Amino acid sequence: MERISVIIPAFKRIEQTGKTIDLLIKSRGNGSEYELEVVVADSTSDRSLEEALQHAFPTIVYTRPKKSGIAANKNQGARVATANILIFCDSDMDVEPDTLSNTLRCLKSHQTGAIVGGQVIWKGGPRDGQQDRPRPEDRRKHVETTTYIEALYSRFVATYKDVFWQVGGYDEDVFNLRGEGADLSIRYWRAGFPLVYHESILVHHVHDAPQSAALRVRHPEWGVAKDLLLLGYKYGMFDAEYDNFKDTIVANFQSLGEESSYRLLEGIGKQFDFITEVKEALDTFRRQDSPRYDFKFLEVFSDVPLFSACITTAAERIEQAIRGK
């Protein structure tokens, strides 16, 4: 029986985290198709969440990162997880009964997929029932029976532990509070580990969960502006024209109309101290970076020969990573 570790990065929100865990444990196939380990990586400052979860779910694995932040939480969960297959599931996700089975099936049946994800649907709030991810600007490419996607945003994704660590895990220095999925996605592609999308993988993003970004962030576009700037700089995208990268920026800000340019600059200005603080880490990465495939963020499908070369040898590369070669 296949063993999988579901890693939940947690911070407060006791009731919703408990609901997410309960849905995972009650998933169809648990104990028959696969053996489930639930790892909660918690950065809550007190012990309230730890005590509540360990009382309700005594079999879970509980751990705390050395520093707070969603990337640090996820990496810590991956360190203590015992399975070779890791599923990262945010604590404000409601999973469907077949989601874990479908995720495992997708990962196993698409040999060129090193990380897989699917549909994220809003639950509650003004966009109830609408698609959160993928969005129209999230490009997908169909090759035979596999659908590749340029980026997965980490709300719910599955991968192999050895592949995850080979690319360095989540970036705790630059993308510790947000943007961690976008950054990991491009590092997977640049290492030759493709991302696969499948619509049977379905989770619901709970809008009204306590501490939800949808509730607590007044101007979410500020964070988007910062992330796009940092990703563009980290992967050397400001010395050439990249059409889809530009289209993505427009898609994220066009709803603001005449204010869009101002809001973008405002977001960068509001977070300028952080941007300058992490520049040294970004420059270190740029000096040491030697990608197998020099893909740019959200421009994987723009270079057809490079994309074709990547997927042609991906299955072999994934197998070698899993076997530790």
Note the pLDDT tens digit of each residue in 89-137: 999 999 999 999 999 999 999 999 999 999 999 999 999 999 999 998 8
pLDDT digits (tens, 9 = 90+) for 12-42: 899 999 999 999 999 999 999 999 999 999 9
pLDDT digits (tens, 9 = 90+) for 219-246: 788 999 999 999 999 999 999 999 999 9
Total residue count of the chain as it appears in this document: 325
> What is the reported pTM?
0.95
How far are the Cα atoms of 47, 154, 283 from residue 70, in angstroms, in the given order? 18, 10, 23
CA dist., res. 51 & res. 211, Å (int): 19
CATH, range 2-216+317-322: 3.90.550.10
For the beta carbon of residue 70, count every other beta carbon within 10 angstroms.
Answer: 26
User: Which pLDDT score, from 0 to 100, does residue 220 have?
Assistant: 82
Query: Are the CB atoms for 213 and 317 separated by under 8 Å?
Result: no
User: Which pLDDT score, from 0 to 100, does residue 208 have?
Assistant: 83
- Domain positions in the chain are 2-216+317-322, 220-290
DSSP class of 297: T
* Summary mean pLDDT of the chain: 94
Query: Are the CB atoms for 130 and 122 separated by under 8 Å?
Result: yes
Residues 6+ away with beta carbon under 8 Å from 187: 167, 168
User: Which pLDDT score, from 0 to 100, does residue 215 have?
Assistant: 45
Residues forming beta bridges with residue 131, ordered by sequence position:
121
Of 72, 71, 73, 70, whose CA–CA distance to 62 is shortest? 73
If pLDDT is split at 50, 70 and 90, which confidence band does 211 have? low
Of 57, 14, 19, 13, whose CA–CA distance to 38 is shortest? 57
SS percent in the chain: helix, strand, coil, step 5: 45, 20, 35
Average pLDDT over residues 51-78: 95
